[in-house]
Structure 1
Amino acid sequence: MKKYTLMVLVFAFLTSCSKSDGVADYKEKNNEEIIAYIDQNNLDAQKSVSGLYYVMDEPGSGKQPAATSNVTVAYKGYFLDGKTFDKSDANGISFGLQQVIKGWTEGITYFKEGGKGKLLIPSHLGYGSQGRPGIPGGAVLIFDIHLISVN
């Protein structure tokens, strides 16, 4: 009996430790939230294998970036409730796609120069379950983007 009780306690301890680092898995919840947002806003979105959703308003006609490219993008970032958390000016900002969240590294590569659309980014491709100042953990991020150039 003691051996069985000890095994149950060890199992309980090990399974509780798997989430003890404070990391929650929001994938399913985020996916449901994004699908509801797409339905409510009548968007024609595509889903990638990673779980990123994107809307191609204008695909663009210039160069198409790779995940290692440096790009200039004008954007507006907001939450599902429409509250803006970040925004560039019309001239955009330049950065390397390896220096940003995974949702941008992947999502920007679907567009060509001049392209416009939306990226609907689940938290595992954004700031995760920990978040960052101004962005809560587990948050879905939406970006209206305009890929100005591949530099």
Structure 2
Amino acid sequence: MKLAFKRWPDTPNKTSPEGYVWLEANARREDVVVLPSGLQYRVLEEGTGPTGRITKDTPCSCHYEGKLIDGTVFDSSIKRGKPITFAPKQVIRGWTEAMGMMREGDRWELFIPAELGYGGRGSPSGSIKPGDALIFEMKIERVNP
């Protein structure tokens, strides 16, 4: 399977070779949905809230855990015991895209190429390197809290 983000192989924001290989293999899983942008996801738990309520400006309270493809956890609201509240336009592009399809109560696992994550810059803390593909488990606790 050819992944959409491979169309831009010379951009400074491209996914690392290791990340690309990992995402390509992950895309072959039967329970993973691959979008044209390169975002991949799988539904872990379906919510009961109405669909279509989350826009780029809609505040959402979310729990999440972010990992590198080697399983290293780099951030977790779950471990802190407190969800965070933000609008989709305030986060990485992969989250923005996923949240537009989610509803209150949904828990998804997101597989995000660097092009939709931190790109060629990595994270300010250095825990996410330039080109890293990312894995997030994310749950929309409340919409417009």
Scaled to the shorter chain, the TM-score interval is 0.7 to 0.9
| Alignment of 1:51 onto 2:38 | yes
Match of 2:139 among 143, 146, 149: 146
Structure 1 or 2, whichever has the larger Rg, is 1
Match of 1:60 among 47, 56, 62: 47
Cα distance change on mapping 1:31 and 1:68 into 2, 3 Å: farther
Structure 2 unaligned blocks of 5 or more: 1-9
Q: How many residues align?
A: 129
TM-score with structure 1 setting the length: 0.75
Task: Tell me the distance in 1 between the aligned counterparts of 2:120 and 2:63.
Answer: 26
Task: Tell me the distance in 2 between the aligned counterparts of 1:82 and 1:140.
Answer: 11
Q: Mapping of 1:1-150 within 5 angstroms?
A: 23=12, 25-26=14-15, 30-37=19-26, 44-64=31-51, 65-89=54-78, 90-132=81-123, 133-150=126-143
Are 1:70 and 1:150, in contact at CA under 8 Å, matched by a contact in 2? yes
Task: Tell me the distance in 2 between the aligned counterparts of 1:72 and 1:35.
Answer: 31
Bigger helix fraction: 1
Q: CA RMSD in A?
A: 2.3
Task: Tell me the distance in 1 between the aligned counterparts of 2:68 and 2:18.
Answer: 15
Are 1:43 and 1:55, in contact at CA under 8 Å, matched by a contact in 2? no
Which runs of 4 or more aligned residues in structure 1 lie more than 2 Å from their structure 2 counterparts after TM superposition?
24-32, 35-39
Q: Percent identity?
A: 33
TM-score with structure 2 setting the length: 0.78
Structure 1 unaligned blocks of 5 or more: 1-18
The higher-RCO structure (CA 8 Å, 6+ apart) is: 2
Deviation for aligned residue 1:50: 0.8
Task: Tell me the distance in 1 between the aligned counterparts of 2:22 and 2:16.
Answer: 10
SS class of match (2:21):
helix
